[in-house]
Structure 1
Amino acid sequence: MTKTLRCETVEELEAAIAEAGPDAMYRGQNEHFTHQDGSTSLVSSFSRSTCVPDLMIKWTHYAKRMLRRHVQGWEDRKDLATDQAILQHYGWRSFFLDATGDARVAAWFASHKFVPGRHGEMVEDCHEDPVVLISDLAEFIPAEGDGHLYLISKKACRSAGIGYVHLSEIATKEGSPRYVCQDAYMVGHLEPSGLPEAALLAHLVVPVAVLMSCADGLSTEDLFPEPDVDPVFSDLLAMPWVRVGPEDDSIPFFRRSLPLPEYKSHVRKHMPSTSAMYRSFWLGDLRDPADPERLTHILCGAGVYHGTSPKRTSLPLLTQILESCDGVVVEVDGLVYYGNRGKYVKGVIAKKVDRDVVAVCEIGVDHPGLQIQDIGVFQGWHFRFRSDGVWLREAHEDDCDCGSDEHDEKLKLLGRVEECLADGSIEHHSSGFYVERGVRRDSDRSLMREVQGARAGGQS
């Protein structure tokens, strides 16, 4: 069993911490949990909550994007601890346990209770149209009674084959993300049973008042800095809002596309043009019926669009679809954010430029507030497809010359779509449309009425 010590004074607490020495990492909780056998239960957030695969994949996609954008020299080395650090610290879940190298930080968490909340506010988008924005506005309040500090042994973790990563490894080029402010470690990844008791040096039970003294004046803002300090948090707040509730002509309600707790409202009475309020739409529904271009639209969810897979060049089913149209559009129900505020990606198009040559490009959308503007195609790469469905890279004068491996990701996406066509999870729906099972086919009804009204007004 874990050694449990009660520390009634700051001096006793400091002595217990000092005894552990540099081998210790710290974790603070305001409640103590046990397994059925009475042993200490320290489990990952995934063990406490159910998995939502599409949302997990979406969070992972954006976490890697933000690491690439903000961390000097970061490379995707498939390191699960750093990949999941943003998920763990900004509102989702991971297979790891939070810890810190600073006992003051652990004391603060042990003496404060997280209280979730919901906040809705009617504001105007950049075009002065009314919307209601719903945020997860949470707070940390002083706890009561006793808090709990867990001293975790680095040596014991190594002996048990449990890793730990100091998140200073992913400090950002500018600013201070919250995991740096918290001197955070990720411990794991852990089995569902959690951290074995053998990895604990001690469990300290301490009155909240003593813990607050040990925390040395730390505040929520110190540990969860605002977006002007934390570039990762700033990026998360810049992502599109998505509509919730009825799709009638009443004032629309929106929530953040990646749910995350906020400790201060970041909603303004007049939202900037860089804040997109997304109502579900498919590009195929927005096209002018008189447009002669024959495109086939494949509608998928976040799991397929943002997933990971090896690059494949054998795409016989997509090649077969291309034989009867001018191009294939793969799009996700959402706006893909790349850090260019106000500008998003809606999907990828494989468009014929010759009988057996396609340009594979992203489709960009400007989306200030509620309005969809300036849909266009970015430069991409070209491929020649053979009769057996194999696609081969072909240099072309219109190729993008950025040199980024991002273009490989488009071919990987097409590979995932090919697999879904093969296993039937993406099915033919109607003329010009294939839809992944579980993905809505229709566009937002009120948005489509606006589009049709604008089209009719333009023709009169």
Structure 2
Amino acid sequence: METVNCQTTEELLNFFNSLAPGALFRGQTKEYLRADGGPDLRTSFDRHGCIPSRMLKWWHYSRAILSTYVKGFDGLTDLATDQAILQHYGWRSFFLDATADPAVACWFAANSYRSEPCGEMIEDCFEDPLFVVRQRAWYETADDRGCIYVLSRKALRARDLQTVDLVEITTASGRHRCLVQSAFMVGPLHGPLPDDCIMTRVFAPSSVFRSYAARFSELTCEALFPGPAMDPVMASLLSIPWVKREVEGDGIGIDFFDRGLPLPEYNMKDICRTGQTTAYYRRFWLADAAKPETLLGETTFYLTEETLFHSTGAGDLIFPNLTHLLRERTSVALEIDGLVRHPYAASSGQYGKGIYLEGQEDGTMLLTELAVDYFGTRPGGFGITRGCYFRVDDESRWHRIEHPEQCDCGRDAHHAHQLVVAEHFEHALREREFAQIRERVFAAAGVDSTSDPLALKWMD
């Protein structure tokens, strides 16, 4: 590994010009070293650890957003592309950030990341007051010695490490930050990046890196981290429902809400008031609102945590417990404690609340989504969407069949995920994770089965 020290912008320019095409770069405001003195380049997952429930939620939304906005993305692609959204919008992955543009690396070597929580009193679409908590983020000029690592693609290949060009994530409109930053993902990594993948370490005063980056007027924080008006990925992430912060004791006069997925926000603007497409989720259960005269009046509800909806599955469609249950009870709803915002429905007030299953007279099974309208802090109407139909064989394996009433939305990944949720439902039934709490209502252990009084009032 070569070490180069540059004291002027001209020296830095000459160094970059001397490199063969195809190198990758990573800029940092300081170098971190291992105990043996080697460079310690680790992934965000390695540095900060994992919160499984939040990781699954990030992963689910990243795939949903990519399949909605990215050309040719079917929701079934490689791990690196899936994790690009996590990494570049504030969460964690098994991959290391890099760029194909040395000027971008220089900008990151000359500017230090900062963030802080902040709160704001706002109104929802009904002018109901509430308090929102966000994470403000910005970069400030560094005044020290920065570092850029020049990575060898050949050495990375020899180590079976991917170098995924995120410019391939091309949205139909707008510009997401991966494209603006000429971003690459390197990995997956378990531990630090091997030293032999680093061709050169380049050190220079922060002012020299900053001077090099300043030669390109488009390299600003506003450009590198475009807001929701320009970046459809950021807009989708910001549309995920807020979640009420539970506070011990009686009410404090006003409710606090956190983003459903916490993420740093650059160039933050005051909110003041939000429209009908922004939801502030208070815990409520459709099981409490499904009166005998309503659509779901005879449905048996199973209440569970939101995590179950965002989990992954093995694709095993053998459902003996679900099959038996549907032949006994006709219709069943697995309801989650949360709202699911589908990116393609970001301009509407409709959200997912779980899955709905119904046995048909001919022995087939309907699988679809449990849906609810939600505006501001208030739930509204609820029901089910059109879904898919399945034939069950003697081994309780479900086979998709054509049906005149089936959904024709063309979103195969959306319906495939409903099967994943059904798979986890089957597992929970097999493990007897649900206990009956009243007639036609069961709840998983640890689930708070009570509805927020205000939400229940508005639902009634």
In 1, the alpha carbon distance for the partners of 2:229 and 2:430 equals 47
- 1:9 corresponds to: 8
- 2:291 corresponds to: 288
- 1:305 corresponds to: 309
CA drift at 1:392 = 4.3
Secondary structure, in 3 states, of the residue corresponding to 1:257?
coil
- 2:197 corresponds to: 199
- 1:458 corresponds to: none
2:131 corresponds to 1:132: yes
Question: Once structures 1 and 2 are overlaid, which stretch shifts more, 15-24 or 52-61?
Answer: 15-24
Question: Once structures 1 and 2 are overlaid, which stretch shifts more, 385-394 or 33-42?
Answer: 385-394
CA drift at 1:232 = 0.5
- 1:253 corresponds to: 256
Task: Count the aligned residue pairs.
Answer: 449
Structure 1 letter corresponding to 2:193:
L
- 2:237 corresponds to: 236
- 2:83 corresponds to: 84
- 1:435 corresponds to: 443
Contact 1:20/1:201 (8 A) holds in 2:
no
Structure 1 letter corresponding to 2:194:
P
Q: Which of 383, 387, 410 in structure 2 is aligned with 1:376?
A: 383
CA RMSD of aligned residues (A): 2.1
Question: 1:109-188 to 2 correspondence within 5 Å?
Answer: 109-188=108-187
In 2, the alpha carbon distance for the partners of 1:51 and 1:403 equals 34
CA drift at 1:322 = 2.7
Contact 2:379/2:455 (8 A) holds in 1:
no
CA drift at 1:241 = 0.8
CA drift at 1:228 = 1.3
Structure 2 letter corresponding to 1:256:
R
In 2, the alpha carbon distance for the partners of 1:3 and 1:436 equals 57
Long gaps (5+) in structure 2: none
In 2, the alpha carbon distance for the partners of 1:86 and 1:289 equals 43
In 1, the alpha carbon distance for the partners of 2:7 and 2:167 equals 33
In 1, the alpha carbon distance for the partners of 2:85 and 2:269 equals 20
2:406 corresponds to 1:408: no
Question: 1:389-408 to 2 correspondence within 5 Å?
Answer: 389-405=396-412, 406-408=414-416
Q: Deviations over 1:206-227 (max 9, x none)?
A: 1111111011242110100111
Q: Deviations over 1:161-209 (max 9, x none)?
A: 21101111112121110010000010111122x2111111111111111
Contact 2:32/2:39 (8 A) holds in 1:
yes
CA drift at 1:159 = 2.0
Secondary structure, in 3 states, of the residue corresponding to 1:84?
helix
Judged with a 3 Å threshold, the aligned counterparts in structure 2 of structure 1 residues 266 and 223 are, in CA distance, closer, same or farther, namely same
In 2, the alpha carbon distance for the partners of 1:317 and 1:58 equals 26
Contact 1:302/1:333 (8 A) holds in 2:
yes
Q: Which of 334, 338, 355 in structure 2 is aligned with 1:334?
A: 338
In 2, the alpha carbon distance for the partners of 1:390 and 1:150 equals 52
In 1, the alpha carbon distance for the partners of 2:445 and 2:105 equals 45
CA drift at 1:363 = 1.8
In 2, the alpha carbon distance for the partners of 1:338 and 1:266 equals 24
Long gaps (5+) in structure 1: 456-460
In 2, the alpha carbon distance for the partners of 1:394 and 1:3 equals 61
Secondary structure, in 3 states, of the residue corresponding to 1:138?
strand
Question: 1:254-269 to 2 correspondence within 5 Å?
Answer: 254-269=257-272
2:346 corresponds to 1:343: no
Give me the TM-score of the superposition, normalised by structure 2.
Answer: 0.92
Q: Deviations over 1:281-337 (max 9, x none)?
A: 221122236769332222233432122224333222123333442311112221111
Identity level (%): 37
- 1:212 corresponds to: 210
In 2, the alpha carbon distance for the partners of 1:77 and 1:326 equals 32
Give me the TM-score of the superposition, normalised by structure 1.
Answer: 0.92
In 2, the alpha carbon distance for the partners of 1:214 and 1:106 equals 10
Secondary structure, in 3 states, of the residue corresponding to 1:234?
helix
CA drift at 1:410 = 2.0
Question: Once structures 1 and 2 are overlaid, which stretch shifts more, 55-64 or 241-250?
Answer: 241-250
CA drift at 1:441 = 2.7
Question: 1:359-370 to 2 correspondence within 5 Å?
Answer: 359-370=366-377
Judged with a 3 Å threshold, the aligned counterparts in structure 2 of structure 1 residues 73 and 205 are, in CA distance, closer, same or farther, namely same
CA drift at 1:421 = 2.2
In 2, the alpha carbon distance for the partners of 1:155 and 1:437 equals 51
Judged with a 3 Å threshold, the aligned counterparts in structure 2 of structure 1 residues 198 and 433 are, in CA distance, closer, same or farther, namely same
CA drift at 1:102 = 0.9
Structure 1 letter corresponding to 2:407:
C
Structure 2 letter corresponding to 1:258:
L
In 2, the alpha carbon distance for the partners of 1:443 and 1:380 equals 27
Secondary structure, in 3 states, of the residue corresponding to 2:116?
coil
- 1:418 corresponds to: 426
Judged with a 3 Å threshold, the aligned counterparts in structure 2 of structure 1 residues 6 and 313 are, in CA distance, closer, same or farther, namely closer
- 2:224 corresponds to: 223
